[in-house]
């Protein structure tokens, strides 16, 4: 059971569409997203959304950090970009 502060939609970058996709893969709370991590959540998301893009990966990381994905540090964006490149095949 989620509490109002544990609701995915209360996290930055998580709109209704991404929330629905996360729930499809068993991530139904802020805590479960944080436990999964952006990379693992993204790999699972690709099983339900073959068109999952790098912005979705950035959105997940930003949500975990509690910031808009545009504000992610350049070093973290570079790491995520490399991860995306390796998984985008």
Reported CATH class of domain 4-87: mainly alpha
- Domain spans, the chain: 4-87
What is residue 59's DSSP assignment?
H
CA distance 75 to 64: 16
64, 38 Cβ separation under 8 angstroms = yes
Q: Say what angle helices 54-65 and 74-87 make with each other, to 10 degrees.
A: 140
pLDDT digits (tens, 9 = 90+) for 35-79: 999 999 999 999 999 999 999 999 999 999 999 999 999 999 999
The pTM (predicted TM-score) of the whole model is 0.91
Query: What residues contact residue 78 under an 8 Å CB cut-off, 6+ apart?
Result: none
């Amino acid at each position: 059971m989620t509490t109002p502060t544990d609701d995915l939609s209360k996290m930055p970058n998580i709109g209704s569409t991404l929330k629905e996709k996360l729930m499809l893969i068993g991530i139904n709370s802020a805590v479960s997203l944080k436990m999964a991590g952006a990379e693992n959540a993204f790999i699972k998301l690709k099983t339900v959304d073959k068109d999952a893009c790098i912005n979705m990966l950035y959105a997940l990381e930003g949500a975990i950090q509690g910031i808009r994905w545009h504000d992610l540090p350049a070093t973290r964006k570079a790491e995520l970009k490399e991860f995306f490149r390796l998984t985008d095949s």
